[in-house]
Amino acid sequence: EAAVTQSPRNKVAVTGGKVTLSCNQTNNHNNMYWYRQDTGHGLRLIHYSYGAGSTEKGDIPDGYKASRPSQENFSLILELATPSQTSVYFCASGDWDSYAEQFFGPGTRLTVL
């Protein structure tokens, strides 16, 4: 069954620490996305990728890096985590063939203390 999975599901980090959020998809989609959801903002796009080896900046990329080592995997990296990065992070995959529908993972709740 096609799916998007995220790990970890919950993470508590300290300010200044490095955090890596991982995403895996079995949809065989070319495109993958990282969003964050905050009250009053909906979902905002951080980084996205069109395929293995590619990463593109989204609307709010500052403080985040992304890595797409393979078709299936897409990581979001916070090199120096800050409390303002406390949020719920969603990974998604999609393709033009699916009429732009994006399939979301279950989310990762990150708290930076």
List residues binding other proteins (CB under 8 A): 9, 31, 33, 35, 37, 40-45, 48, 50, 56, 58, 88, 90, 92, 94-96, 99-107, 109
Looking at residue 99, the DSSP 8-state letter turns out to be T
Distance CA 70, CA 90 (A): 18
Looking at the Cβ atoms of 17 and 72, the one nearer to other proteins is: 72
Name the DSSP letter for residue 80: S
Contact 81, 17 (CB under 8 A): yes
Q: Minimum CB separation from other proteins for residue 104, in Å?
A: 4
C-beta separation of 19 from 79 below 8 A: no
| Distances in whole angstroms, Cα of residue 102 to Cα of each of 21, 52, 93 | 19, 18, 5
Measured from the CB atom, the residue of 64 and 90 that comes closer to other proteins is: 90
Cβ proximity to other proteins: between 16 and 106 the closer is 106
Nearest-approach distance from CB 81 to other proteins, in angstroms: 21
Least spacing, CB of residue 9 vs other proteins, in Å: 8
